[in-house]
């Protein structure tokens, strides 16, 4: 799929899809991004959701947010993981949609 979008629509894809940068509304010098990444039809990445997509939200203070969500009985799927580009954790909404919460390293 990455190659198809690259060839036909000019997306600058990598194995992780592509990113679309945009300026933040409050401070146009700060950049945000939207990540686009197709997954194979038989992927297990979105489990335990039975949906074939996942939403990613950029958040501040991920540790505090996770504690608040636990107190509100939100399903936390895994533990917070840290990478060079930020921290991540996955939760489920009431309809079983998997949501990735991301605190970027700015």
CATH number at residue 105: 3.10.180.10
**8-state DSSP, 8:** H
Range of the domain at 62: 56-106
Residue 99 inside a domain? The answer is yes
Residue 82 inside a domain? The answer is yes
Residue 89 inside a domain? The answer is yes
Residue 13 inside a domain? The answer is no
pLDDT of residue 41: 86
pLDDT, the chain, mean: 90
Asked if pLDDT for residue 49 goes beyond 80, the answer is: yes
Per-residue pLDDT tens for 50-98?
888 888 888 999 999 999 999 999 999 999 999 998 999 999 999 899 9
The two structure tokens encoding residue 85: 């580009």
Residue 66 inside a domain? The answer is yes
Residue 90 inside a domain? The answer is yes
Asked if pLDDT for residue 10 goes beyond 80, the answer is: yes
- What is the domain count for the chain? 1
Residue 41 inside a domain? The answer is no
């Amino acid at each position: 799929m990455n190659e198809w979008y690259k060839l036909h629509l000019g997306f600058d894809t990598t194995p992780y899809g592509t990113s679309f940068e945009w300026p933040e509304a409050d401070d146009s010098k700060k950049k945000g991004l939207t990540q686009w990444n197709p997954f194979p039809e038989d992927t297990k990445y979105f489990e335990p959701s039975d949906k074939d997509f996942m939403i990613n939200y950029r958040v501040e203070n991920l540790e505090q947010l996770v504690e608040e969500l636990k107190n509100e009985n939100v399903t936390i799927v895994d533990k917070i993981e840290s990478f060079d580009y930020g921290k991540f954790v996955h939760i489920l909404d009431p309809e079983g949609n998997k949501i990735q919460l991301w605190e970027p390293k700015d």
